[in-house]
Structure 1
Amino acid sequence: MQWVFVLCVSVALSECLVQIPLEKVQTAREALEEQGLWEQVRAQYPFNPMAKFDRSFAVADQPMTNDADLAYYGVISIGTPPQSFKVVFDTGSSNLWVPSIYCGSPACENHARFYPSRSSTFRYSGTPLDIRYGTGSMTGVLSYDTVTVGGLAVRNQVFGLSQTEAPFMQYMRADGILGLAYPRLAASSAMPVFDNMMKEGLVNQDLFSVYLSSNSQSGSVVTFGGIDPNHYYGSITWIPLSNQLYWQITVDSITANGQVVSCNGGCQAIVDTGTSLIVGPQTDIAYMNSMLGASNQNGDYVVNCNSIDQMPDLSINIHGHAFTLPASAYVRQSQHYGCRTGFSAGGDSLWILGDVFIRQYFSVFNRAQNMVGLAKAR
């Protein structure tokens, strides 16, 4: 019989020298093989024995705050020495911008603002920037500086300094937005932060993953360069992108009780961390909400809170897989506003699978293979 010795630091060496029969120690590979998972893991994480010796092989966790299940933001820094900002990590846009001392809008007055003169690594560009979102817009100029996200320092990163911001942004908890979509979507052809991470070899894999907590709980995180198995159950379903602009995929249909209720014959959707709800065309959303017994009150679809347990599960069918949402996931209960569905009309043929969906399904955004991975969130 072979033996392996385990040493530890202790006052009495005799308390630390322990003999363990080698035959009783099961390797990680053996455990995975027993569960039939070895080939899947080996394909997903190719063997690289030098990775631990190379600082370029990195995985960076960026914690996010859950703001009442309506928005998720994390703290980054810009400049030398660093100036801190709360930003929404938005897979539905591609630019990074923060408020600046050049901004006179009320939205800038109650948020952190960037001071160029306080950073020794700041470089002014002056290229104008104009971005329009679903709930507002901003204008400003582009500049360059070191941006640190999840402990990764991205040097010479282009970012926007706001000069005007829409009134809605005055009520945002976050100061700015960090876009994580494709470069083609970036205003003024600004290189997105994650593209620079990949270009500089700062991440282990050319992907990032997102876990969103529910009910204002802590634990939300975006992981750059890796996938944390502690955030999901089962296996990841990989879905090819239909367009490399947003994180856009093809949805086969949306069903309830086995019947198609929307997206009949297929539709296009984007997986968007920067949108709170699930958004779709007016006709489809009106029909879905009507089927659920919701009434339209000033644009919000309200349901009887006592009816939630009787409401059906909805299945968003993608690439041959059903991603099911129970009523507890798609109805938001508020002490002040009652119960409202998480389905909103957007007036476009493009659907948005926002936070209502992502809270239920851990999402991986794979730039190496241009795919989205979805797995049941823990």
Structure 2
Amino acid sequence: MPTLSALLPLALLPLAFTAPVQPSQQAVRLVGSSPASTLSPEQIVKRDLTKLLGTRQPAPRASSHHQRSNTVPITNVIKNGLNRLQTFAGPLKVGTPAQQLPVLFDTGSSDLVLLSACLDGCPNGYFKPDASSSFVNTTTETAAAYAGGAVLYGSAAYETVQIGDTTVRGQRFLAGTDGELTGTTNAAGVMGLAPIVNPYAGVGGDTNWLQAAVAAGSLPANEFSLYFGRAAGAVSELVLGGIDSAHYQGEVVSMPNAPKGAFTWGASVAGTVVDGQQVDSREMIAVVDSGTEVNYVPRRVAAQIYLQLNGTLQNTAQQVVMGAVYDVDFYTFPCNSSLPVGFSFTEASSTEPMYMKPQDVAWYMYSRLPSKSKGTCEGAFVGVDINYPFTETPAALLGLPWLKSFTSVYSFGADGKSPAVSFATSK
């Protein structure tokens, strides 16, 4: 697996570099946002479950007066004032001549969505189609739906899109011109990095930007990696065609993407472990989603995890998603009682469990106690019983808390058709 010894200076903020970049690999610096609070835990759960369960059927027609043809469930990463998690945005260039915009890189969706008009003051800028000679619009109207009821309306369009040094021409995307792009506190769009285009939702087209780059042989290896720094101001990056060895330690553990032919990046979980003890042997399909603030696991698994932590309190709320009612379990516990939580994976290159760091098991966004305590943490694992779409296998979602602990690699295989996911413990 290729490694990266230096970073390409493509940050949104001016940065100084002294080491040369290996010409075959590209890194995009991801910049965290300032604190912002917009979504409740219930809204976050509804958004994330709608995103996953929405793959069961085509998205519904928009019900507003705009009469758009379909809805794209897109996840945005929110930062709350009480939360140590951040949103992460990196630069994307679009059009001719190129216009640079900050976008969120999301492994849980496949579409590119860009603001293409100045909405809500456009603090992060927007794509200007009239200033590009390569912009091609269509008459296909579509929309991107967000938590809280916000919808971004627009049309499917084609444009030249560049990330790092890799350019794809004629890339289909949603050019949003009306409505609201909510939750993106430091971005003007979302770049979906899912392994294949989901035919049941999206702006249409046969390939997304990443698939097109792989098919054209534009990357030195058919893979990309993500690293999210934990501390405020720490480096975070997307690496196209490799992995930055400076950000991880130990073995890079690989496993085939699960299930076969999935629209998402994921892995098959063989068991759940807490501090060296297996607490549940339930098999799950774990979707790896950089656009999710928490980790979702079956309710029984969540209960077994928190049973090992002293002073845990549980709160159950009901959430309606796509007409079905789900019981969702939230947990709080004393921050100093956190323990390493992890999973063993089926067909992985190592049989050893992979553990999240204890500090990442605590999700600081909201406290469920009647009176908030400075030493009380919200658990990063939320319990909800859902199955992976089109299967009877329980599903889990591994979001930013998991990805803070691990540098993740997403590979299409040498033939471009054998997707795999890898994790290495971040430093």
Q: Structure 1-normalised TM-score?
A: 0.74
Q: Which one of the candidate residues 190, 198, 214 is aligned to 1:185? A: 198
Whether contact under 8 Å (1:69, 1:215) holds in the other structure is no
Match runs of 1:223-238 below 5 Å: 223-238=239-254
Select the residue among 251, 270, 273 that pairs with 2:290. 273
Please tell me whether the aligned partners of residues 143 and 160 of structure 1 are also in contact (alpha carbons under 8 angstroms). yes
Listed one character per residue, the Cα deviations across residues 55-102 of structure 1 (whole Å, up to 9, x for unaligned) are xx832111101345232211212112222221111110000111122x
Identify which of 328, 331, 336 aligns with 1:301.
331
**Residue of structure 1 aligned with 2:341, choices 301, 304, 314:** 314
User: Does residue 245 of the first structure (1) align with residue 263 of the second (2)?
Assistant: yes
Alpha-carbon deviation of 1:229?
Answer: 1.8
Question: Are the counterparts in 1 of residues 227 and 236 from structure 2 also a CA contact under 8 Å?
Answer: yes
Instruction: Give the fraction of aligned pairs with identical amino acids, expressed as a percent.
Output: 23
Report how far residue 341 of structure 1 moved.
1.9
Structure-1 residue corresponding to 2:358: 327
Does residue 81 of the first structure (1) align with residue 94 of the second (2)? no
Aligned match for 2:412, one of 347, 358, 367: 367
CA distance in 1, matches of 2:272, 2:179: 36
Q: Which amino acid in structure 1 is aligned with residue 290 of structure 2?
A: T
- State the AA in 1 paired with 2:398: L
DSSP 3-state at the match of 1:185? coil
Greater CA drift, 145-154 or 133-142:
133-142
CA deviations 1:246-275 (Å, max 9, x no partner) are 01210011122444445x331111111111
RMSD across aligned positions (CA): 2.8
Say whether residues 1:348 and 2:389 are aligned partners: no
Residues 147 and 155, structure 1, Cα contact 8 Å, conserved in 2 = yes
Name which of structure 1's ranges 247-256 and 57-66 shifts more when overlaid on structure 2: 57-66
How far has the Cα of 1:358 moved from its partner? 1.3
Q: Is the 8 Å Cα contact of residues 102 and 124 (structure 2) preserved in structure 1?
A: no
CA contact (8 A) 2:25 2:219 kept: yes
Question: Distance between the aligned counterparts of 1:137 and 1:322, measured in 2?
Answer: 40
Q: Give matches, 1:211-222, under 5 Å.
A: 211-222=227-238
Q: Secondary structure of the residue that 1:246 maps to in structure 2?
A: coil
2:125 is matched with 112
Distance in 2 between residues matched to 1:172 and 1:300, nearest whole Å: 25
Using the alignment, how far apart are the partners of 1:204 and 1:281 within structure 2? 38
Say if 2:109 and 2:194, in contact at 8 Å, map to a contact too. yes
Bigger radius of gyration: 1
**Rounded Cα–Cα distance in structure 1 between residues aligned with 2:339 and 2:422:** 25
Against the structure 1 CA distance between its residues 252 and 60, is the aligned structure 2 distance closer, same or farther, given a 3 Å change threshold? same
* Structure 1 residue 239 displacement after superposition: 0.4
Task: Please identify, of 218-227 and 155-164, the stretch whose mean Cα deviation from structure 2 is larger.
Answer: 155-164
User: What does residue 51 of structure 1 align with?
Assistant: none
- Matches of 1:300 and 1:175 in 2, distance apart? 31
How far 1:321 sits from its partner (Å)? 2.8
User: Is the contact between residue 174 and residue 203 of structure 2 (CA under 8 Å) also seen in structure 1?
Assistant: no
Cα drift, residue 329 of structure 1: 2.1
Residues 109/231 of structure 1: CA separation in 2 closer, same or farther (3 Å cut): closer
Find out whether 1:92 has 2:108 as its counterpart.
yes
**Mapped contact 1:94–1:181 kept (Cα < 8 A):** yes
Rounded Cα–Cα distance in structure 2 between residues aligned with 1:164 and 1:296 = 41
Question: Of the candidates 155, 169, 189, which is equivalent to residue 155 of structure 1?
Answer: 169
Gaps of 5+ in 1: 1-43, 46-56
Return the offset for 1:209: 1.0
Q: Secondary structure at the match of 1:329?
A: helix
Equivalent-residue separation in structure 1 for 2:114 and 2:334 (angstroms) = 40
3-state SS of paired residue (2:355):
strand
Residue 158 of structure 1: CA displacement?
1.4
Alpha carbons 1:69, 1:216 under 8 Å: kept: no
Kindly indicate whether residue 32 of structure 2 is the aligned counterpart of residue 66 of structure 1: yes
Structure 2 residue ranges without an equivalent (≥5): 3-22, 34-83, 318-328, 388-394
TM-score, normalization by structure 2:
0.66
